[in-house]
């Protein structure tokens, strides 16, 4: 629920700009008790219990993921379920820390001719040696940013959703040695596997800290934001909740020397932070991840999750890992240290 304030702003922007759109929120958590979603701008709110439709022992599967891995792995499930619905012409996925500023005509038009629509992390090639670090990072996390994904409800779209969800069930992990980074690295294969994949390089889409160094950001007298002279379509405040020594909101320390429009970006960050405040103060949005601890209250470590996920014998012997217990923890420790 810590990202609910962000998701609420996203949903409000979708309702404001996209007309007859249905908004669905998927929680990487259990459904919060005594929390009112009535003014959330979401038409539907799903919790982790929905996974039982595809995964009979879904809680054992959930246990095997860190919060970031789980938040990205469930996207495949949500996409598959949405494309099974007759009232769904296309599914547009946005990370909760996105905000829509237009009717997204360029995206919707693309989905008339393409089954899958992607936006790359960076759109312009450069030969400067100083810039190679930004390209090397894409080798680590993937060429396309999956804070946004558009999929048409077509035979090819469903084929993609089935494949993606199948891969994410076992391999949505952060594992540098295996060259995996959550759901994103898998999408690098999409243009090879599927027909009608559309890559939109328009600078007004998915404006975020990893590409602002390539784009000129301006604001006109009425307050509208432009990117390379074009009206902003949607912004992605990725990492905004982790602003620190390296991440400065809409840009990083590494990219700051090339930023054009720093004042505008800083004002965008301040404005976004102010609008989040009301809901950030709600107790449910400040509470710990309910799936981050055993029933006893003991915190679950990421190494414990990884060993459980990668050891079928453990999941077979202990199908209810959140219960913890001496026998389970001893078996887990033996696997981790053996």
Q: Indicate if 129 and 204 belong to the same structural domain.
A: yes
Task: Round to the nearest angstrom and report the end-to-end CA distance of the chain.
Answer: 36
pLDDT(87) > 60:
yes
Both tokens of 137, joined, read 């990072």
| Together in a domain, 180 and 307 | no
Q: Could you read off the pLDDT of 295-310 as tens digits, one per residue? A: 999 999 999 999 999 9
Q: What is the pLDDT of residue 138?
A: 86
Q: What is the CATH number of the domain that holds 22?
A: 3.90.550
The answer to which of 32-36, 159-163, 232-236 has the lowest mean pLDDT is 32-36
22 shares its domain with 113: yes
DSSP string, 115-172: SEEE-BS-------GGGHHHHHHHHHH-SB-TTEEEEESSHHHHHHHHHHHHHHHHH-
User: Buried (b) or exposed (e) across 261-275, using 16+ Cβ within 10 A?
Assistant: beebbeebbeebeeb
Question: Same domain, yes or no, for 239 and 315?
Answer: no
pTM of the predicted model, to two decimals? 0.93
Percent of the chain with pLDDT over 90: 77
What's the burial of 149, exposed, middle or buried (CB within 10 Å: 0-12/13-18/19+)? buried
The Cβ of residue 44 has, within 10 Å, a number of other Cβ atoms equal to 10
Could you tell me if 168 and 186 are in contact, meaning their C-beta atoms sit under 8 angstroms apart?
Answer: yes
Compute the C-alpha angle 271/276/282, nearest 5°: 160
pLDDT band at 242 (very low <50, low <70, confident <90, very high): low
Integer Cα distance of 46 and 28 in angstroms:
9
Domain termination site, one of 286, 307, 325: 286
Q: At what angle do helices 326-337 and 302-310 cross, to 10 degrees?
A: 80
Ramachandran assignment for 261, one of left (phi > 0), alpha (psi -120 to 50 degrees), beta (any other):
left
Structure tokens at 100: 């829509």
Is 132 in the same domain as 176? yes
| Whether the predicted pLDDT of 247 surpasses 90 | no
Count of residues for the chain?
338
Mark whether 299 and 189 lie in a shared domain: no
25 with 140, same domain: the answer is: yes
CB 56 within 8 A of CB 319: no
Q: Which two tokens stand for residue 93?
A: 């996925």
Number of domains in the chain: 2
> Which residues does 205 contact at the CB level (< 8 Å), separation at least 6?
106, 107, 119, 148, 233, 234
Classify residue 212 as exposed, middle or buried by CB count within 10 Å of its CB (0-12, 13-18, 19+). Answer: buried
Same domain, yes or no, for 312 and 204? Answer: no
Residue 240 pLDDT: 72
User: Is 14 in the same domain as 152?
Assistant: yes
Same domain, residue pair 263 and 298 = no
pLDDT digits (tens, 9 = 90+) for 199-224: 999 999 999 999 999 999 999 999 99
Contact in structure between 235 and 98 (CB atoms under 8 Å): yes
**CB burial class (10 A; 0-12, 13-18, 19+) of residue 288?**
exposed
| pLDDT value at 61 more than 50 | yes
Same domain, 171 and 41: yes
Residue with tokens 């999750």: 305
Domain residue limits at 9? 4-286
Shared domain for 205 and 82, answered yes or no, is yes
Between residues 176 and 156, the one the model is more confident about: 156
pLDDT of residue 246: 46
Q: Rounded to the nearest 5°, which phi and psi values hold at 99?
A: -145, 130
Single out the residue in 244, 270, 286 at which a domain terminates: 286
């Amino acid at each position: 629920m810590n990202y609910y304030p962000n998701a609420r702003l996203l949903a409000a922007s979708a309702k404001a700009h996209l007309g007859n759109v249905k908004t669905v929120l998927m929680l990487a958590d259990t459904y919060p008790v005594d929390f009112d979603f009535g003014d959330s701008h979401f038409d539907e709110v799903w919790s982790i219990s929905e996974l039982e439709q595809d995964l009979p022992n879904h809680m054992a599967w959930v246990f095997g993921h860190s919060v970031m891995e789980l938040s990205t792995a469930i996207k495949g499930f949500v996409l598959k379920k949405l494309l099974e619905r007759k009232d769904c012409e296309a599914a547009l996925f946005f990370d909760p820390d996105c905000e829509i500023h237009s009717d997204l005509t360029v995206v919707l038009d693309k989905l008339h001719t393409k089954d899958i629509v992607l936006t790359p992390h960076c759109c312009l090639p450069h030969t400067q040696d100083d810039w190679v670090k930004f390209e090397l990072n894409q080798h680590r996390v993937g060429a396309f940013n999956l804070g946004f994904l558009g999929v048409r409800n077509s035979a090819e779209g469903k084929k993609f959703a089935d494949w993606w969800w199948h891969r994410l069930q076992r391999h949505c992990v952060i594992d540098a040695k295996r060259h995996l980074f959550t759901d994103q690295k898998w999408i690098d294969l999409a243009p090879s596997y599927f027909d009608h994949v559309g890559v939109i390089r328009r600078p007004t889409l998915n404006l975020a800290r990893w590409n602002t160094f390539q784009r000129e950001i301006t604001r006109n007298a009425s307050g509208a934001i432009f990117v390379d002279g074009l009206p902003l379509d949607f912004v992605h405040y990725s990492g905004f909740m982790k602003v620190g020594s390296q991440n400065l909101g809409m840009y990083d320390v590494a990219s700051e020397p090339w930023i054009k429009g720093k004042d505008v970006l800083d004002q965008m960050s301040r404005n976004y932070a102010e609008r989040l405040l009301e809901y950030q103060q709600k107790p449910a949005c400040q509470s710990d991840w309910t799936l981050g601890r055993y029933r006893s209250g003991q915190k679950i470590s990421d190494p414990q999750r990884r060993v459980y996920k990668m050891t079928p014998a453990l999941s077979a012997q202990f199908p209810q890992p959140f219960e913890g217990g001496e026998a389970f923890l001893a078996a887990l420790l033996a696997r981790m240290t053996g």
